């Protein structure tokens, strides 16, 4: 298989997994079928959409290629009906979600480096592509985004994005950069799920400013 | 009257109605006059703004034509003062809101078909134009968007957008497409208000994944 | 010092102050270090990002010039560690925040007038540049934005933006417009902090519409 096909397949896999994650979140809030599809679409397509809008590189990716839209909508609908029959395994979902995070972060970093030469901007765009969809999902559920409060999630993405810009700076081609970056994010995230790592929490003696 | 003038008048009517809806939501949260105007602007202009940003077709519509901005701000201010004198009728508001939804969906689908040839993308953009303003309003009120939880609201918009792309595919001109699409959305939405239809809710035996 | 350097320095000062405000808000929600940096970035860069996206004038400012990104990330991290040692003074923060609001509003209005000739659009863009970052911060904290509920905050920005378009309409150059606009916003905001002004709240006899 050609590397570009592998990456495209992984990208669609990430879209499907994130759509399931969004649809399940909608279910926890007792949304109707429309709400489930909207949450699925937002979670799956939100990060990449924000990336394309900020980079200002023409219409967003799912307008250019509606296959992404159809995959996200299809998996959301499937989830809506499947949960009546099968029970979702928490750990299975976390592992699938880790694949989505890893590939989205690598591809987001890759896309950003077409427009910008700044490594810090590319890393921010990569992490954002991987995490913003889940943040939008949580905002629509009127909750503080989980990503901001918990575990080595975004940090795994940050490490993956860092490896990408490091290899890219050494003159490595895009495909191996994407593969290594994905492996790094995935390994750290899976290790965090397995051993339950967490980052230090903000600690202040006595704070109550309010603006 | 020229069809373009009818459509422009309907569009401004939709903006005014949605501004009232946003201003009233702000009132329920006891916001100040600035909050009322912001909620009115976001509700009235949010959907079309998101559409223009995603299609990447130059500055958004209310920057091109500030009349939209002035109408939205005017109706928000009017609502702020009017509620001290007159009591809003729930049903009257729902019916006005249905007009806004119907015309915004038809015009959103129409605008999207200038940029994209994909019917599924155009339908998503149409529904988004009709519903995203209300979703942003609810997010700013720190609530789960009503559209995601309740009734035949977005589904009415989806049917209207579907009729638009169907007629468009058959070679029908833009103006009759807009008129038929608007009538379909409006009829379904008004019927739903009158008889209290609702969509099936997401149902899962025992779910508590959390990512 | 050249006026452009003064403005650039003030702009970076505003970014730093807003990053501190976002990082402290994240602390109140007990976010981890990643959440603190995200809230800092969103608060500091959110308003200008929204302005650039809506005006559709190429990649957003912090992609063009990553110094903004680094300053915002640096101040967020600094806040994360500093709060363990020093207690933030509420009033000191409010006053710093007022400087950020004033300079962001003036620069937002100035940037908008490059694209649009409409004074009302430019004023909206100015107020949005000054306040949207704080609104995004509050939405990510799952709270109704403070700006919409409280005090002469956005109103100070509106007065500053009004003074800008007034002077601009009289043919005054950009630099004095920015300086006067900043002083007006700052004065009104500091007076409001000192004497505790507030705007009238939305008042309705008996409202409970829900759409």
Is A49 within 8 Å of A161 (Cβ atoms)?
Answer: no
Residues of A in contact with C144 (CB under 8 A): none
What's the Cα-to-Cα distance from C178 to each of A146, C16, C23, C133, rounded to whole Å? 40, 19, 28, 20
pTM as predicted? 0.88
Q: What is the pLDDT, as a whole number, of residue A208? A: 43
Look at C83 and A203 and tell me if their CB atoms are within 8 Å: yes
Contact (CB<8Å) B26/C148: yes
For residue C82, give both structure tokens. Answer: 């500093």
Long-range Cβ contact pairs of B177-183 (< 8 A, separation 24 or more): B177/B106, B177/B110, B178/B7, B178/B106, B178/B107, B178/B110, B179/B106, B181/B102, B181/B105, B181/B106, B181/B109, B181/B126, B182/B10, B182/B102, B182/B103, B182/B105, B182/B106, B183/B102
Give the three-state DSSP class for B29.
coil
What is the ipTM score, two decimals?
A: 0.83
Determine the distance in angstroms separating the CA of A87 from the nearest CA of chain C, rounded to an integer.
Answer: 29
Who wins on pLDDT, B149 or B21?
A: B21
| Minimal Cβ distance to C33: which of A120, A199, A210 | A199
Residues from chain C that touch A207, judged by Cβ atoms under 8 A, are: 24, 27-28, 83, 87-88
CB atoms within 10 A of CB B20: 26
Out of A89-98, C5-14, C170-179, least confident range: A89-98
Question: Quick one: pLDDT band at residue A97, thresholds 50, 70, 90?
Answer: confident
The first and second tokens of residue B75, run together, are: 């109706």
When pLDDT is cut at 50, 70 and 90, the band that residue A206 belongs to is: very low
In a mutagenesis test of the C interface, which of B38, B97, B157 is the best target, namely the one with the most C β-carbons within 10 Å?
Answer: B38
pLDDT tens-place string over residues C117-162: 899 999 999 999 999 998 999 899 888 888 887 667 888 999 999 9
**B181 touches B106 (CB < 8 A):** yes
Q: Rounded to whole angstroms, how far apart are CA atoms B127 and B159? A: 9
């Amino acid at each position: 298989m050609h590397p570009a096909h592998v990456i495209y397949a992984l990208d669609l896999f990430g879209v499907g997994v994130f759509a399931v994650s969004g649809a399940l979140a909608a279910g926890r809030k007792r949304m109707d079928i429309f709400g489930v599809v909207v949450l699925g679409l937002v979670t799956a397509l939100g990060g990449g959409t924000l990336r394309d809008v900020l980079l200002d590189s023409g219409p967003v990716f799912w307008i250019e290629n509606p296959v992404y839209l159809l995959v996200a909508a299809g998996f959301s609908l499937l989830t809506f009906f499947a949960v009546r029959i099968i029970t979702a395994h928490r750990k299975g979902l976390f592992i699938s979600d880790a694949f989505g995070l890893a590939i989205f972060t690598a591809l987001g970093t890759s896309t950003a480096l077409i427009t910008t030469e700044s490594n810090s901007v590319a890393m921010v765009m990569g992490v954002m592509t991987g995490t913003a969809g889940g943040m939008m999902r949580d905002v629509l559920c009127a909750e503080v985004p989980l990503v901001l409060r918990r575990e080595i999630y975004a940090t795994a993405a940050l490490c993956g994005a860092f490896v990408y810009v490091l290899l890219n700076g050494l003159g490595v081609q895009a495909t191996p950069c994407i593969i290594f970056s994905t492996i790094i994010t995935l390994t750290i995230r899976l290790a965090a799920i397995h051993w339950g790592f967490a980052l230090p929490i903000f600690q202040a003696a006595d704070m109550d400013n309010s603006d």
